[in-house]
Amino acid sequence: MKLHIESPLIESRPLSLLVQRNVWLKLDALQPSGSFKIRGIGTACEAYARQGKRRFISSSGGNAGMAVAYAGRCLNIPVTVVVPQTTTERAKALIARENAEVIVHGASWQEANALAQSMLSDDAAFLHPFDDPLLWAGHASLVDEVAAAGMKPGAVVLSVGGGGLLAGVVQGLRRNGWHDVPVIAMETRGADSLSQSLRAGHRITLDAITSLATSLGAKQVCQEAFDLARSHPVHSVVVEDIAALNACERFLDDHRILVEPACGASLAAVYEQIPQLAEVDEILVVVCGGATATLDQIRQWAARPDIKAA
Ligand SMILES: *Cc1c(COP(=O)(O)O)cnc(C)c1O
């Protein structure tokens, strides 16, 4: 049983006309949990279920927590998600809607995560949002589907938080023999842990996340993503929050799909016509999705003077 769907791969007419080259969209915004995360988390949850685990625990109030909750409901395994007090009502409701238990604890993610870790026992599995080989193997299925459709991209554009998606996509490219297909790794300023690490030559830890794209808000990328970013052709690009927000609004007009700013960062690569894509034909954008944003929220953010001025 697969918990994710084979997502649609379409050629975007509006984006192709905009950049005068073919732009393809892998529409993981349409996954049942609202984002690509169910690919890897579904794969991991199934593996842990086979190992005899009887409870899943997560400390993500975002799309990872939603994917664990969805997977648990499908597999008939109880799920507990511990989230900090800063988690929005909407995010908590989306997780609870999948019948998961939501525990609110602590002022920050660190405290919520500490409680989640203390709840682990022999028959419970902790689902990390990005740092788990099972996750990467599951995310790689996205590339398998593109290959099976007979489409070889000139470059893959994707968003980077903790780097799980990046690690999975690079693994997918390699297992399909596409060692030469570059990846454009998009981050927003204030959540640019990969970009700063590549510049420093080692994995840095951000002091704080100052971007609105909270789903990209990992203070440090996982080692696997950092290593792959240095051994595979990966181009790291940082955009301002306002570019990601504008991309969300334009994408809603163009394709009638609402995504989070975390995904808007990837779409901004095309809407802002970044130079790294200037020579690329057959651009593939991973539309990673995200269920936590609303149109009202995106418009409010985009109207903030400090955001607009960036
Ligand atoms: C988790 C997430 C990301 C970042 O994925 P990582 O594997 O953490 O790099 C990007 N976009 C959305 C919508 C996400 O949920």
What's the 121 CA to ligand 1 centre distance in angstroms? 27
Strands 9-11 and 23-27, bridge-based pairing: antiparallel
289 lines ligand 1 (CB under 6 A): yes
171 lines ligand 1 (CB under 6 A): no
Architecture of domain 38-130: 3-Layer(aba) Sandwich (3.40)
Per-residue pLDDT of 195-249, as tens digits, reads 999 999 999 999 999 999 999 999 999 999 999 999 999 999 999 999 999 999 9
Query: Rounded to an integer, what distance in angstroms lies between the CA atom of residue 105 and that of residue 87?
Result: 10
Residue 218 CA: nearest ligand 1 atom is: 8
Whether the pLDDT of residue 72 is over 80: the answer is: yes
What's the 147 CA to ligand 1 centre distance in angstroms? 22
Least confident residue range of 21-25, 39-43, 110-114: 110-114
Return the pLDDT at 2: 87
Take residue 244 and report the two structure tokens written for it: 């990601």
Whether the pLDDT of residue 310 is over 90: the answer is: no
288 lines ligand 1 (CB under 6 A): yes
What's the 164 CA to ligand 1 centre distance in angstroms? 7
Q: Are 1 and 256 in contact (CB under 8 A)?
A: no
Return the pLDDT at 303: 96
Task: Say what percent of the chain tops pLDDT 90.
Answer: 97
Return the pLDDT at 254: 98
Total residue count of the chain as it appears in this document: 310
State the chain's mean pLDDT as an integer. 97
Mean local confidence (pLDDT), 260-273: 98
Whether the pLDDT of residue 309 is over 90: the answer is: no
For ligand 1, atom 1: residue with the closest CA = 215
Residue 62 CA: nearest ligand 1 atom is: 15
Whether the pLDDT of residue 1 is over 80: the answer is: no
b/e map 90-121, b = 16+ CB within 10 Å: ebbebbeebebebbeebeebeebbebbeeeee
Instruction: Identify residue 136 by its one-letter amino acid code.
Output: W
Return the pLDDT at 220: 96
Please state the pTM of the whole predicted model.
0.98
Per-residue pLDDT of 110-164, as tens digits, reads 899 999 999 999 999 999 999 999 999 999 999 999 999 999 999 999 999 999 9
Whether the pLDDT of residue 285 is over 80: the answer is: yes
What's the 162 CA to ligand 1 centre distance in angstroms? 7
- CB-CB neighbours of 218 under 10 Å: 23
Cα distance between the two ends of the chain: 46
CA 260 from chain centre, in angstroms, equals: 10
Mean local confidence (pLDDT), 181-191: 98
Start and end residues for every CATH 3.40.50.1100 domain found in the chain: 9-36+134-308, 38-130
Return the pLDDT at 98: 97
CATH fold for domain 9-36+134-308: Rossmann fold (3.40.50)
